[in-house]
Structure 1
Amino acid sequence: MPSAARKSQERDRASMEPPPADDYAKERYGVLPLIQSQEKSDRVLVRINDLTVEKTDEVVWVRGRIHTSRAKGKQCFLVLRQQQFNVQALVAVGDHASKQMVKFAANINKESIVDVEGVVRKVHQKIGGCTQQDVELHVQRIYVISLAEPRLPLQLDDAVRAEVEGEEEGRATVNQDTRLDNRVIDLRTCTSQAVFHLQSGICQLFRETLIHKGFVEIQTPKIISAPSEGGANVFTISYFKSSAYLAQSPQLYKQMCICADFEKVFCIGPVFRAEDSNTHRHLTEFVGLDIEMAFNYHYHEVVDEIADTLVQIFKGLQERFQTEILTVNKQFPCEPFKFLEPTLRLEYREALAMLREAGVEMGDEDDLRYIHIVGM
């Protein structure tokens, strides 16, 4: 942590009033020292997404960020967030919490990281706005681990609001420049968290499916001595006293493995293309999911493997990542994705016939372009 940021955080910690000497709950709340490595703790922290009705009446410790806080009389409602999951926590004056403790909790800056000990209670009415809608935490202890700045450059609630909703209701949204200038905060939103979990899930499902099929994962060089694929522009870089290139594809190395009797290989890794284009189908850098395999009699053996792999990925996303898909859909509404099992296959002449029936002029030797594929 830079010294200026450290000093600022230390000032913020010092600015929070210490508990009064006569406060019966003074040991149950406060701001912990910045360095916590002087002693080890056997405290077990429970994940917020694991807080369910099955844990009712259990005393648990949770670490999360203060998403929102709302004080009302002798109680304070907090929403604790951990990645894309959140839960309501109640701090109320009683045996475990004093009036000063409630005030302390209400004054903790948003996005601060806190440790909370509380009793899991089942609620009679679902809590809207929280992923854990059937339970809440009744707080017994609360300690600030990392105190956030009092003013943030963007509010997370604004950052996850759908643009259509913001326009119709006149509520604030966050533009792309502000997001990129404050990317660390923007990545905390439930939508960003879900997107990255989905990206990870696709790679996981791709890997699991192919390993189950007998493929071997390989890692290939990304700094190479010659362009690796025709038809794609290449980035040239300085390599000591000579030049080298960023790999456009792992194609050469995959083919080497097949010739070396690996039979089936796959690779997950970055791909670099020096294509100066403004379309969403031309990226200078992306993650490639590549396979290579030997076939015995007909290239349809490869087509079969690719088709089934895609189907397994789509099914896995629907079965194992439904929460993430729904989270993204809240901000970016779209129709549920659909696919056929087995995958639809068209021969080239069938595709040409469909396009010609739709009024597209196509010669027998013409290449199918993206607009044609979408049209079909």
Structure 2
Amino acid sequence: MAEPSSTTQELPERPKGEEEGEKGEGEKGPSKGALKKAAKEKEKAEKAAKRKAEEAAQKAASEASDVSKADYGDLPMIGSHPYVPNADSATRIQLASLAQEEGDISGKEVTFRAIVENARNQAAKLSFVVFRQGISTIQGVVAASETLSRQMVKFAGGIPAESVVLVHAVVEKPKEAVKSTTIQHLEVHVKQLFVIAKADAQLPMQVEDAERPLPGEGEEQTENEGRPIVTLNTRLNNRVIDLRGKHNHAIFTIKDGVTLLFQEFLRTRGFLNTNTPCLLGAPSEGGANVFEVTYFASRAFLAQSPQLYKQMLIAARFERVMEVGPIFRAENSNTARHLTEFTGLDLEMAFEEDYHEVVSLLEELMLYIFTGLRERYKLETDLVRSIYHVEDFKLPAAGSVPRLTFPEGIAMLRADGVEIGDFDDLSTPDEKHLGRLVLEKYGSDFYVLDQYPLAIRPFYTMPSSATQAAYNPSSPNAGYSNSYDFFMRGQEIMSGAQRIHDAGFLEKRMREHVTPVDPNSDGLRDYVNAFRYGCPPHAGGGIGLERIVMLWLGLPNVRLASLFPRDPGRLVP
């Protein structure tokens, strides 16, 4: 039998910590510290909920009293809702046309889509927004009144730069000229303001940084107005933002203008626009500096020039042809004036008696382009030159373009201390040096150098008559040729020549050239055969579009004249 319990029996020991209100071993439940922490979290959540409710109430009250609530805000994404025509769609204006209106247009109501170049809250009742279209900018004023709320003023001043907006406003005349915009004699007082597409608040680079000048080749980068220079590499890596700069829009407007003027002039002279292949089955000019690509199960090559096809078209009885298209050169040149892909302005024409007929036409063409840029694109030219300070391009009078023979150019360089051989090709420093001498002597930034040494020209170049008369089989590349280069500010922009139009003579020159080529090779056989069927004498040239733009505007690097430049180290974006 079990013994009865005794009052004197020792009680079991109380678990440690129970006196402090903690649970004993084996018991479940939160500790006192955990309960205290939970209480704090609950209090914090209640305060946050209360604050959120208060903010929501304030917002609701603010919206209820916002007289402008229907006049500003973010629009739904265009395309996400059925399209309903607006009454103002047909009346939207362009800022450039607004600036050209004559007379007092104060009070005129306007609607336009624009980019926010910058926005700032000047005070609780006043914000300023600079709107931009293309290269035109205008100041917008958002001022609180009985019909325009402070909420709208605050909204306007907080729109991120580069956002796309729709603006309804009234044109007014400012008390004094607005010097920070291109349209300085007008401003717009905003009545409605809607965001069509909001830009990120943090951009990888600022557009205003893209509008600061880059240093020239060989110059060191320094700070500009206390801000670090954004390098060319950074700009090209973020090219979409970089291209938003007003000067970039001007550059590519001018580039388009050069193409327009080129075609405009030549069309009036009976030239036909053509499009020749860029994919070739074999290298066509000796195989050097050519890009090879995969073409199904075989190889193909990117055209270095439309040269051979232009000549074949002359043989096909298209006696005056032109072309604007891409040129590919696999040259590992990392200079400020070389690209691996650029745009060529090419032409070829049959002549009557002498190749200088073509040289004269080319001179007229270039003067037409330069004069057209000066007269039609002055605004864009002045804008870019305000960043890249360069003297105005000095033009000769029509019919008086300096045309030097190669020996005359060499003589000028030697007279100024340059050591150079009679038949040496000109280096870039030599070309620039000669350009300075020509400018000093003739007062022209544009000139022609004629009769280049035969040895430094392509195999299809016609030797000069004197060279042919003095032909020596032991030295077949001695003498000069009927070839020429055109220069702007001492840099080459065009290379051209009379081409050999006799198949037998062409084959001979191909075999004895400094770098011989096989006239029966896959890339040249059809070209040579084209001249077996009777071809008129002809000449032409290839002009580098980006170089014209670079040298006209004084840009420090040809990459600035290419939308998405390609060079030995760049294939993206």
Q: Calculate the TM-score normalised by the size of structure 1.
A: 0.89
Distance 2:165 2:432 in 1: 49
Separation of aligned partners in 1, 2:300 and 2:332: 20
1:45 to 83, 87, 92: 92
1:163 shift after superposition? 5.5
Kindly state the Cα deviation for residue 161 of structure 1 after the two structures are TM-superposed: 2.4
In 2, distance between residues paired with 1:230 and 1:371?
27
Q: Is the 8 A contact 1:228 1:249 kept in 2?
A: no
Which secondary structure does the structure 1 equivalent of 2:404 belong to?
coil
Instruction: Give, in whole Å, the separation in 2 of the partners of 1:212 and 1:77.
Output: 50
Q: Identify which of 158, 176, 184 aligns with 1:125.
A: 176
Question: 1:27 maps to which residue?
Answer: 70
Asked if residue 138 in structure 1 is aligned to residue 185 in structure 2, the reply is no
After the TM superposition, which segments of 4 or more aligned residues of structure 1 sit over 6 Å from their partners?
Answer: none
What is the aligned length?
Answer: 360
Please say if 1:346 is aligned against 2:404: yes
Could you tell which deviates more after superposition, 180-189 or 227-236? Answer: 227-236
User: Which residue is 1:314 aligned to?
Assistant: 370
Cα distance change on mapping 1:149 and 1:250 into 2, 3 Å: same
Distance 1:226 1:112 in 2: 49
Shift of 1:232: 4.4
Task: Please give the per-residue CA displacement for 1:86-133, whole angstroms capped at 9, x wherever unaligned.
Answer: 110111112542221111111211111100011111234221121111
Aligned mates of 1:117, 1:69 — CA distance in 2:
16
State the Cα distance separating 1:67 from its structure 2 match. Answer: 0.9
1:10 — aligned with what? none
- Matches of 1:179 and 1:360, distance apart in 2: 38
User: 1:284-323 counterparts in 2 under 5 A?
Assistant: 284-323=340-379
In 2: Cα distance, 1:170 partner to 1:150 partner: 22
Aligned counterparts, 1:185-196, within 5 A = 185-196=241-252
Which ranges of structure 2 fall in alignment gaps of 5 or more residues?
1-58, 216-220, 435-573
Partner of residue 317, structure 2:
261
**CA, structure 1 residues 96+214, in 2 after alignment: closer, same or farther (shift >3 Å)?**
farther
Letter in 2 for 1:155: Q
CA offsets, 1:274-332, max 9 Å, x none?
11122334321111111100000110110011111111111111111122122222322
In structure 2, relative to structure 1, the CA distance for the partners of 1:282 and 1:157 (3 Å cut) is closer
Aligned to 2:110: 60
What CA deviation, in whole Å up to 9, does each residue of 1:256-278 have, x standing for no partner?
Answer: 21112221111111100111122
Alpha-carbon distance in 2 for matches of 1:175, 1:310: 33
Please tell me the root mean square deviation across aligned C-alpha atoms, in Å.
Answer: 2.2
Whether the aligned pair in 2 keeps the contact of 1:51 and 1:120 (CA below 8 Å) is: no
Distance in 2 between the 1:350 and 1:175 partners? 41
Q: Deviations over 1:42-80 (max 9, x none)?
A: 513211222225344321111111111122231111001
Look up the match of 1:8.
none
Q: For residues 142 and 341 of structure 1, do their structure 2 counterparts lie closer, same or farther at Cα, with a shift above 3 Å needed?
A: same
- Structure showing greater radius of gyration is 2
Deviation at 1:363, TM superposition (A): 4.0
Cα 1:155/1:230, change in 2 over 3 Å? same
Q: For the Cα contact (< 8 Å) 2:120–2:158, is it kept in 1?
A: no
Aligned counterpart in structure 1 of residue 385 of structure 2, from 307, 324, 329: 329
Distance in 1 (CA, whole Å) between partners of 2:212 and 2:418 is: 40
159, 162, 173: which one aligns with 1:111 = 162
Which range moved further: 281-290 or 356-365?
356-365
Three-state SS of the structure 2 residue aligned to 1:120 is: strand
- Give the AA of the match of 1:61: T
Residues 1:262 and 1:315: Cα distance change in structure 2 (over 3 Å) = same
Contact 1:232 1:273 in 2 (8 A): no
CA drift of 1:231 comes to 7.6
2: distance between equivalents of 1:194 and 1:176? 18
Post-superposition CA distance 1:7-32 (Å, at most 9, x none): xxxxxxxxxx8971232222111111
| Cα 1:358–1:231 shift into 2, 3 Å | farther
- Answer yes or no: is 1:182 the counterpart of 2:228: no
- Partner secondary structure for residue 148 of structure 2: coil
Aligned match of 2:140? 89
Partner residue in 2 for 1:206:
262
Counterpart of 1:99 in structure 2 is 150
In structure 1, C-alpha distance between the alignment counterparts of 2:325 and 2:238, rounded to whole Å: 27
Secondary structure of the residue aligned to 2:386 is helix
